[in-house]
Every structure is written in C-alpha cells, then in structure tokens.
Structure 1
Amino acid sequence: MRKLSSLASRVTPEIQNLAGAIHTPKNPQFAKPSLLKPSENLPQNSIDSSIGAFEFKNSISTPKPHISAGDTKLSSRPIDHRYFAEILSRKDWYLLLSHEFKAQRINLSPQIAVSILHNQDKGLAPLRFYVWLSSFNALLAKNKSILSALSNAFFRKGPVLLSAELIQEVKNSGCSVNEELLCALIDSWGRLGLAKYCTEVFEQVSYLGIFPSTRLYNAVIDGLVKSNSLDLAYLKFQQMEVDNCVRDRFTYNILINGVCKAGVVDEALRLVKQMEGLGYSPNVFTYTILIDGYFNGKIIDEPFKLLDRMKAKNVKPNDATYRSLVNGVFRSVSPCEAFDLLFKWVDKEQNLPKVVYDSIVYCLCNNSLPEQTSAFFRIADKKGVDLEETCQVFESFIENGVKVDLSTCLTFVEALYKSKKEEKGNKYLYWIIHEGLLTDVFSYNMVIDCFCKAKMMERALEILGMMSKRGFCPNLVTFNTLISGYCKGRDVNKARELLLMLFNHGFRPDVFTFSSIIDVLCQLNRISEAFDCFLEMVEWEITPNAITYNTLIRSLCICGDISKAMKLLRKMKVDRIQPDVYTFNALIKNYCKANKIDEAQRLLMSMLNLNLRPDNFTYTAFVSALCESGRFTEAKDLFASMEANGCKPDAYSCNSFIDALVKTGRFEEAQDLWLKYKEKGMDLRTIPVKYSALVG
C-alpha cells in the first residue's frame, strides 16, 4: 500500500452493504490526481440497523418524537454549488452573477451567501463573489455571518494575495477592494501566519483608495496577534496615534488577548488599566480573555477572584466566561485536582447557570471519571456517589423536565460505555433517539463520534446505516470521524473501506482524512507509505497542518532518523506552518537521548523565538540528559527554574527526575525531592525500599 488511493480497495461485504444503504443526492465528481484511483461503484444492497434492538427499561418514559415528518421538508431547492463555481471561474463572472440573481432563480439571503462562500474550491472564487455582492447589495455584504464565512474561505483556500493583476481585475468589474474585504483578507493572512505580508499591505492601502481607520488597525493588530507576532502588533498599536486613529475597546481587547495567549498576565493587566484610563471599562470579553490568560500562565486562584470582581462591577459572565473557567482548570491541573477544585467552588456558589454543569460534566466524562461525575451530580441533586446513582440522578433530571442537551447526554453515554456498562448506555441512547434529539447530520455525527471514542466501531457503523434509513445523508465529517476511529484502533483495512465510501459519495479527502491515515501508518511503522500519503496531499492541493507534520516528525524521531526530521521541520517553516511545542519536544527529546545537548539547546532557542513556552516534557528531556551526562548542578538549577518560568512540575517531570537521581546513586537528593512534592499532594511513584534503605 504505497499511495492513499490504494487504501480505497479490497472492500469487505459488510462495508459494501452499508454503502449501498446510504442514498445521497448526485454529487459533483471531482477531478482526481492520477495517484487516486478509487474502485467502481459499490453494489447497492441494504442494511438493517440494530438500533431498534436496544433494550429499554421502565425508569425513563418513551415520549413520541417532537419532530413530524412534515418538518423535515426543505423550504427551497438546494443550491447548485458546482454551477456557481463554474461562473466564478470565468472571466465574465461579474456579468454572469448579476444576470443569475436579477433573473431571481434564487433568492439572495445571508444563508445563501454563506453557503456559496463555504462551498468554493478555488481561493479567488470567494473574493470574486464578495466583490460582486458588495456592488449588488452593499448592506448585505456587511452582514457579520457573511464576513466571517468570507474570512474562513480565504483561510481554508488561501493565501489569497493582493497582486496587481487581481486588483486590476476587480477594477475592471467596476468595483474596488473595500475595507470589509481587506479586513477579511488580513484576518486570513494572520491565521495563516503571514504577519510580514499583513504589515506590507497595510502600509500601501492608500493605493487602494482606503485610508487607515480604527477598524482597519484593529484588523491588522488582530491578524498579527493570530500569527504570534506580538512585537509587530505593539508597533501598530503605537502607530495609531500618528494616523489619528483612536484606540477603542476592541483594540485593547485584541492586544490583551495576544498577551494572555502568551501567559503574560501582568502586561495584560497593565493594558486593562490603560484602557480604563481612557474611559473604556472592561467588558465580559475582557474578563473572559483575562481568565484564559491566568490559566495560560498556570495561575489557578485568580480566575475565581476575577469572577467575584465581575459581579461587583455588574458585569455578567456569559457562557464563554464559564466555559473558559471550567476548561482552564482542567487544562492547568490533573483531572482529579480539577474536579476537587470545581466541586468546592460549585458547592458554595448559588444560582450558577446550566452551562457550568454541562461543561464540568463534559470534562469529567471526557477524562473517563465516572465516579467524579457521579459525585458532581450529587451536588446538583443531593444524592449518591457511584455510577448507578448517577444514572438515577440523570433519570430524575429527565423526569422533572430538565432539558438535557445532546452533547451532555452523549458524554454521559460515552462514560457508561467506557465503564463497560453497555446496557445502561444503550438505554439512554434509545431515549435520545426517541426524544427526537437526532434532528440533522450533525447530531448523528455526534453519536458516531461517541461510539468511536468508546472504541465501539461496529455500533458507529450501525448509526451510519440508521442515518440513511431516516433520510439523512452523511457528509465529509461523518466519514472522517469513522476513518479516524478505525485509524486510532490501528485497523487500516476498515479505514481503507471507509475511504472508498468517501470517494463513491463524491467527497474529496481533506487534511483531516490524510492526517488520520498518516497517523495510523506511522503507528504501524509504515513510514514510507505515510510519506507517500504526505506527498499525495500536494496533488490534491491540500495544505498539511501542524498535526500532520508533528506525526511524521515524531515517527522519524522514534526511528532515529533525526536528520530527516530536521529537514521536515525546515519544510514546515518554508510552508509557513507554525511549529508548536509538540513539534520541538519530539526533536529535543531525540537529541537529549543521544546526549546531543547543544543541538537540543539550539532547538530550544528557536522555540523561544517563536514565543512557544517549554512544557514539562521539554524540561524533563533536558533534566534527564543533564543527569546522564553527570551535570547534576545544571539539572537541579533547571528543574528549580521551572516554576519561576511558568511551568509547574507535574508527576511526570518529578518522577523522571527522581528516577534519574536514583539511577546515578544520588539517593538522598531523590528522597528529598520525593518528600517535597509528596507533601504538596502530588501522586508520585514510591522509591524502591532497597534505595530508601541506603538513604537511612
């Protein structure tokens, strides 16, 4: 299996039957590169879903579905996106679009415009459509959902660069590049890491007939923040006064967000004071950003105090504020510590909104903590602490008319399946179905994802068959979820079969499809085939992301091919893909294992130059290497500096350092370190008795 296309062959009858059961509208056939040659159409057989076999007990009633058959009918015919793509690829695109909409064959609305922007394969097509829309309906062109879809389209298919030829093409159509279009382009450039290009274009906007404004400055500063170029963002922030542009609350919130992402909370607080001095009070977005910043800086207590300050200033936290708090706690400490902290907070707080409970339940279920989930339900309903009683609490919520959303239900179902309580999980899933919570392809995808996470792939396929019987067509996300599930289980054959179904339903593989396949090939040590897939992405005009690169770099490091891994890192930078801490950790760990500490330190400097903060894995690699080299003083100094540099040692780093000290005969130091962190409540491995006796 040398190419991705070879995955789409040798299909088992089971998947053939399932493919035949799924009826989809006729999709446009994409021109495939020569490397991808999927097989002919599958036999059209049917499949019986076993979902009806779920046993259902009397503890929950079975109400009739809320959605009638009539509700599922579409109010208008679907948009022919292939037709619009053909129009937008022609030189007379402007005239053709005007004729199409003036003929009123389709009613132009925000939803229609968003759909057209979202379904274009070429980067210039969204720009041309928006240029026409700005002229045809200027008010509609300023719709926030349309501008967001435009920026996302530029990001997905970009970069879309403002060449002289493109600007002339826009002028020839009788239009111009307006401020809204330029802001959307700048946003996409920022997300793609093109910080320098953002500033170069901004310096020349006068040639476009656009002059600096607060809104345009905000877009540039936001783009620079998104591309991790804080220095340039501060420079533009300072230049606003020169251009007589007034900094507003948005300006400050954007910059505060940038420094909070870097975990530099002191600077964020300075900016807040400066903002207040200009008469702009912090709003809910400012406080939410600060909460994220505290957690990025590993400061756990301050976000809770910040919530109290919000209430004192009559700033009401929104759903995003509470989600940031809950997710931040789980991101900053171990799941058990997070539960203890949030348990105490929820227990003493009054009238917390539902989003708090949903978020905590989701995080608990996502970390496979059924007992803690049960204990958390006890706070809400004053009941027991084991999983069976959690089920009773869940049922009591339903019986008392509490609306439980699909996401919360499925995290609970997933926890039951992972705890080997399949019968209970089936019961609640059956309730979800009969409650009418599965209303579209997105909700079915969530159920499929639930089964994939629980490693119940056959059941995930049953849901795929059930979708078709109920009139819902799978989309690319459906197939990507199933392919990812099989890849995580290292089942390449089943992933191959789902890939063929993806082709036969008229879908193109995307970066997530390729990344899943590359990951499983790397796990199986089939590196050559993984690189074949990587090269094939180029033929599909799909840009690899950081996850794709990280998978390959990590695998090369495991194989000991550090030279090729470094070449891949350089290619990553050439392709303007921002390396992250995981990229550098794989390389640093490899160099440290080979006792090439100087090379590892050079990588660390590159990492710091990109404003990436070393984590526990980075420090542990250096500390272990220094110990093995006999440089114990340096190792101890480095370990002691972790907390001062914003990286709190965890059980992994402590255990690794203790093991290194024990292996080199420094038993007393190992014992002192063990006692120090054990007293802080850290769950550490016990030092073997034979070594402890030597200390005594």
Structure 2
Amino acid sequence: MAALLARKILSCSTPGGISLRSYQIVCFLFPYLLSNGNGRLKPCGFCSVASRRSSDTARHLFEEFSKPQNLRNEEELRCIGKILTPEAVEDVLKGLKGWRRAHEFFVWSSRQERYKHNCYTYNAMACILSRAQRADPLKSLAKEVVEKRCYMTPGALGFLIRCLGDQGLVEEANFLVDNAEIMGCFPNSYTYNCLLEGLARTGRVDLVESRLADMLVLGMRIDKFTMTPVLKAYCNSGKFDRALGVFEEILRKGWADEHVFTLLLVSLSKGGEVEKAWELLERMERRSMNLNEKTFCILTHGLIKEGDFSRALALFGKMKESGFKGDLALYSALISKLCEERELDKALQFYSEMKENEILPDASLVSKMISSLCGAGDFIAARRILEVDGEGVGLGSLVLLYNGVLQGLVNHGLVESAHSLVYLMMGNCKETAEVPQNQFSFKRMVQPNADSFCIVVCGLCKAEKLETAQKLVDNMSASGYKGNLLMYNDLISALCSVHRLQESVDLLEKFPELGLEPSQFTHNSIFGCLCDMEDAQGAADFLKIMRKHGHAPWIKHCTLLVKKLCKVGNSQDACKFLDEMIEVGFVPDMITYTALINGLCHERDVDRALEVFRTVSSEWYLPDVVAHNIIISGFCNAGRLEEAQEILKEMVDKGLLPSVVTSNVMMNAWCKHGNLDLALRSFSEIDNDELRSPTVVSFTILIHGLLCANKPNDALAYWTKMREKGCSPNRISYSALIHGLCSCGMPDAALAYFDEMDGEGIEPDVSIFIIFLHSLALKGKSVEAFRILHKMIQKFEFSSPVGKNYERLRDSLRELYRDMHTSSDLVRLIEEGRIPVFHSVDMIVGQTS
C-alpha cells in the first residue's frame, strides 16, 4: 500500500520529484497526525531498574571481562551465564572500556543458555559500535536483530536506525524498517524521522521520497523533524530546486529557524549556487537571521554546547574567512573547550590570535589558560601569560589569576606547592618553603579569596592530608578570611570518611558564625558517618536537625545502618531507629524496610518481621517480590510452612508473580520436611512456565531432597534432565549428588560422578572427600578409598581436627588400617606426617598417644 501511494504521489509530481501540492497535502494532515514521540530514548539510555541480584551479576561479569581472557574464571562465568539477564548485560556493556571487549562480552552473553538479548542490549552494543565507527559488526548486529525476531519498540528501533545512519549504513537501516513487523514493531513518526536523517546524510533522495510517501499512507505526523532531513537530502544530492521547494514549505509552516537557513545556505554555497545563496542571505536579514558575525557566533556557541566541537571549529574558520574577527565570549568558549580537551597548543594559538585582533582577554580567561597550562606541567607558558597579562590588572582580577595557578598546581599533583602559595598570599612567610619559585616570580601579591582556600583545601582533602587542611582552615579563620560552603563540605566529608565525627560536628556548629547555611550534602555526610559507626541513637537525633533545615536523609545511609545493626544482632535497635525516623517525619524506603525484615528473619524473629511486613504493606508501600521472598524464607527456616504458603498466596493475590527464587525457597523447605510431593509440584510449575525456568539451584534442591528420601533413581533422573535443560551442575550440585549417593549406599555411582566432577575442573571441598572416603571404606572398597585419601591429602592440609567430619575420617582410616591391601601405605602416610590430624596409628585404632 505504501509503495502504491508513493507511485501515485510521484506520478502527479513535477519531473524532479514530489510536487508542491503533495507537500501541501502532507502539511494539511500534520495537525491531525501529531503523536507523542513514543519510544524516544534518553542519552546513554536503555535503562531499567535492575534488581540487586542483577547488579551483583553485572559487577562480577564486569570484573571478569575487564581481565585478559586467559585470566578469567571460566567456571564462574559458566555459573553466571545461567542467571544472566538483559539488565546485567546492559550494565556491563556501559562499563567496559573499548569496543572490542564490549563486543566480545556481547557475543559471549548471546551464547548462554536461556538468555536472549532484548532491544536495549542490542541498542547498547549498537551505540558502542557506532561511536567506535565499526561498520562491519554493526551490520551483523542489525541483521541479527531481525533474524532473532527481537521485540522492538518504535523508539528503540529509531535509536538503532540512528546508530546505523551515523555510520552511513542506510541499507541496513532501511532493511530494519521493512522488517519491523517481524519484530512486533509498528514504526511511528520518530522511527521514520530517524531513518530519514540517515538517508539524508547519504543523499538517497529516492529512498527519502519513498519513505515520506509511506508516512503519508500510514497517517503519521509530519513536522520539521521530518522535513528537515528531506531538505538535507536534496541539498546533499545537489538538487537545489527541490531543496528550495521544500524550504518554502517549511517556511510557510513556520518551522524555519537558523539551522534550516544555515543548512540550505551552506549547501548552496558549497554547490556553487552563489546567486541563490545571496537571495537566501537577504531573506535571513529580513527575518533578523542574516548570517553576520553575531549569527556566526550564536551558531558556533550552539555547536559547542551540543558537543559538536569539530563543526564549531569549522564554522569558526568560515567566519574568519568571511572577514569577521569574533568577540571575547566566542574566543573564551573555544579556548575553554580546547583546554578541557587538553589541546593546549591550539588553545595558545587562538589566545595569541585573539590578542592580535585586539580582543583583550578578561581575568577569567587568563585564569583558565594559566590553570590548564599548570595542570599540564607547562609552567613556562603559564608564567609568561601571568607576567604579561597580569601586569596591569587590578587586585580583584589578580586574585583570579593566582587562583588559576593554585588550581593548576593541584591538578598537576603539586598540592603542597599550592598550599605554600596560598600562605604566601596570606603574608605568612613561615609556610612558603615549597613555593615553586623556579617556575613563577610573583612581583605582586594579593590576598586570597574564598575560592583560593577552597581550591587548596579540597586538593589537600583529595590527597588525604586532613591535618594540613584543618590547620589551613584554622589559620584562615584566625587571619580573618572566610571560606565557602564547598570547602567546608569537602573537609567535613573527608573527616567523616575516616570517622572523625566530632571534628565534623564542630565545623558544622561554626556555620552560623561563618554566615553559612548547611546543604543536604553537609548533613548527609555527618548522618552517613553516624550510620557507618552504628550509632543508631545519634543518627536518629541528627535527623531532627536535618528536618529543621528541610534536608532528607539519603536512603543508602539508612539502609547501611539497618544492615549493620541486624548483622550484629541488634535488630530491635534497627526497628527503633526506623520508628524514630517516622516520628521525625521521614518514611524509610522499601529497600531499608527489606533490610530490616531480612535481619529479623536471620534472628528467627519471624513474628516481628511479619509485623513490620504487614505495617509497611498497610501504611506505606506494596512490598516487592524480594521482600516477599525474604519473609517466606524466614517462615520456612522457622519450620512454619503453612504460614509461608499463606504469604505466597497473598503475594499472588496482590498481582505479584513469584520468581524462581520464591519457588526454590518453598521447594527447599518442603524437601527438608519430607513433603516431596509438594516440592515436585512446585518444580513442575516453574518447569512448565514460559516466564520462569528452573535453575541449577532448583534442580540441586530437588535432587538433594530425593536423595535424602532414599530415592536415588529419581534423583539421577532429574540430574539427567538438568543436563538436558542446559543447566550445567556446579560444585554444590555435585556435592549434593555425591553425598546423597554415598548416604544411599551407592559409592560406585558416586565415584563416577566424582571423577566427572574432577574432569570438568570443579574442585570438591574437604567434606566431600571425607564423606566419599567414608562411604567407600565402609563398603570394603579400600583400594578406591585409599585413592580418594591420596587425592585429598594432595589438595588439603589437616593441621587441626576437621570439625564434625573428624569422627567420620577416623572411622574411614580405621577401615583402611584393618585392610592388608592399604594398611602399610596408610601407616607410611601417617609416619611421614601427611595426615597431621592423626600423628600416630594409635589415634586411629582408639588408643591415646
């Protein structure tokens, strides 16, 4: 249908393409086709609220893939691969440095069982590849999105198309739109606008016209974001007559701005259409948008602000070619950006050029140059600027130049030199031994201002020289100088980070006489210190002070305090603290309440945990799946399965979908209490659920429960099923299976899985060795048992008794000692001290030594 309308439009257009009448139809439909731009992504987006589990997974993956490949823990990666989520993959992609490592991780993740990329992970990778200008892998990615039938929103599809367009991959971008339906996507105007932008860059007028016709058929909104790429396409292809026709329509609709004018003007100029360019300039002047020096400056400033600095420099070059010199504001913006990007040679060139044009730098720009040069270690150039441009400035401006020196010294790691210089500015010669006199000759001195002290104190705090920073602040106050809030905040934060609480409070108490009002950062620095020190009462009391100033406590600090109190068994103090928070007027976050509920459950105070859970549910929040899992687990661990089931039922009634973790918790409890039928039913539910799948933990729980119930054949059947499902067993799985088979009197079967475990490079712990050894020895399989013993003493040292396994180990060795095939070898090992737990045979046979 789209193609039909496209042919119809083109058939009634001028020989060159779409007619003016066609565009009038488009513009007439515009008010009725407005949409809300559905699917637009924010910069560096694809964000979702990741669970803490997903965050931990992302952190582990980031650590592993930040290492060289040969240093990665492949076993850990295999385990993590089983619980991989798109949210975790997206977080890792954002953090990894270099497109190669990111792409390697992206490919690895796509190969994991039961994991599937979504539109956000694809877009995260596309963004990285586009920025790195890697067209080939970007092409493959676009093809894979369609092949995998990845669900795409219109906004996500638009973002991916934009990434492709940035690299000139318009065929691939076009292919995505044609196959959008396969991905469950119905493109909107934003999607098509992104496509038009990419097509316009390559001058593909035929495709631009075709897609514009498609938009008409589909009833999409047509606006300046649609027509500007159309204009650009005609300009880039040199079809200026059509470009002017589109421009007239844009102008009539009131969509024309300086960007549209400039776009057409530059294209006409590059295309050699001088007369048409002059006509356009005259029209710009009539609209007060003529491309004079001011317009050049505005456009250049805009490009700098948008981060397109290369184009800003190019436009600045055009401006100078037009005979304009620019002004101080424009030069300051360009030079400051060059300094930020460490292009100091270019900055110095512009700085000299500006002065040659008789544009005098102000103190702010001079200070910026001095600071940047000092920060790069070019003290000679910095001194020259200070001597020349600081010669005739007043004292008020001179202090800005000296602050530039201070900031540059701090940035270059010479914080003690900056410290000495500020004392020299104060007139205190006793503290000036380290002033870099060989780099600077200070002909005139000026008193430091608040910024001077802030620069040095913040630098000292960053360098962890807190004593020096405090002494400077004390001397500053004693000499009648005043600091600013940033300086005091930095010092208080640094003191709090090392638990120097009283000194931080003392500084805060001086704020009124200093004329300072504490900020939320000030208060939260001290509040966080109190929480970190587990001072619940002190934190609660400090909340009252924060409340008076209208400052809310940061949730991370409240949660930290609750976790710390619960960890040491002070959950009652944690409850009291949260109650006092509410009394003060602050409602704790659900994350903080979840930490409290978890702590109460660990202390076996499940009734109190449930009370908190109910209170939160009725008065503040709807507890999430994590909170429900914690309270369910608490009741299961307390042996109160009926109440756990009731909470699970409530959870479903609230519309919350139980997670695999929820099912695992219940399965584990049922297995421990011998309710295998309920455990099997729960396993079957997640096994047949499209949204949930059993994990290696699920299988391990069930296998362990079956073995404890003396059903080894059923357990082995589920072990096989686990393999078939793609769940690779881990150390815990093997340990549960081997232990269970030994307990069921099947050491031969256990031995096969023990060897399999070893073959896969999974290290068993000492308890598995001892259990296995004990089982074989009691079955009279002394030779096999001795082989296990020999492996065990190669891997572990027994410098002390091995806890609850001591008796089991002694019984096993007693059996080996009684067997003539292993007796002498066992005695030799003991005499050699290879089994330090038993330093004589008498300890094994039951006599004391």
Shorter-normalised TM range: 0.3 to 0.5
Query: Which of these two proteins has the greater Rg computed from alpha carbons?
Result: 2
TM-score, scaled relative to structure 1 = 0.41
TM-score, scaled relative to structure 2 = 0.35
